Structure 1
């Protein structure tokens, strides 16, 4: 049961998409939806029409889950570890999610937050 990443351009062969925490022996699940969750109203990720429906249906067909785009290795947060999309997990109970919950449990992790903006050359301290 491979996870389905929630990004239109993800190449799953190019990065480690394991949501498993090897120290705790549990799978990472976001504690809440990320700021740009594809399941939030408003299409914040600018997905093409029908794309969300298609990859949610694919994850359900596989009895798997979706990895949150904001935790993917190539996204804006390179230090984030892959985690299960909270928007998907709150809406669907697939076989993979049920097995993970019953056998190992989840460790909830907060969604990655944007880094503090770096001051530009024209910025003055304290303003």
Structure 2
């Protein structure tokens, strides 16, 4: 069950969904605004890409990290969290182990776009 990107690798960034302060893994409380599992292909994935992502995660008995919580994406201050769309649809060994051993802490997804009121004039 080796991760595709080593969470401790200096080149891969910190992809850990674990919250050391509460001892649980972060899971989005709901799907983000551009969830790849929502109707309409809001992320403009190429045909077959979602299938490939799901197949890889299920083959590894792992999970998908929500794209909106990835480091250096739109919200660098947000910590990685498990995609709610994936967790609601699939039950992998990793998700079962997390649930039984540690539990989840639900976190709200980041807002899709930064508020324009925060932008200096």
Give the TM-score of the pair, scaled to structure 1.
Answer: 0.84
Question: CA, structure 1 residues 110+68, in 2 after alignment: closer, same or farther (shift >3 Å)?
Answer: same
- Which residue pairs with 2:46 in the alignment? 48
Q: CA RMSD in A?
A: 1.7
Whether 2:37 is the aligned partner of 1:35: answer no
* Structure 1: stretches of 5+ with no match in the other structure: 6-11, 121-127
* Structure 2: stretches of 5+ with no match in the other structure: none
Runs of 4+ more than 2 Å apart: 1-5
Q: Which of 1 and 2 has greater Rg?
A: 1
Question: 2: distance between equivalents of 1:57 and 1:106?
Answer: 23
Give the TM-score of the pair, scaled to structure 2.
Answer: 0.88
Question: 1: distance between equivalents of 2:4 and 2:105?
Answer: 19
- Which residue pairs with 2:65 in the alignment? 67
Aligned residue pairs total: 114
Written as runs of structure 1 = structure 2, the 5 A alignment for 1:1-127 is: 1-2=1-2, 13-113=11-111, 114-117=113-116, 118-120=119-121
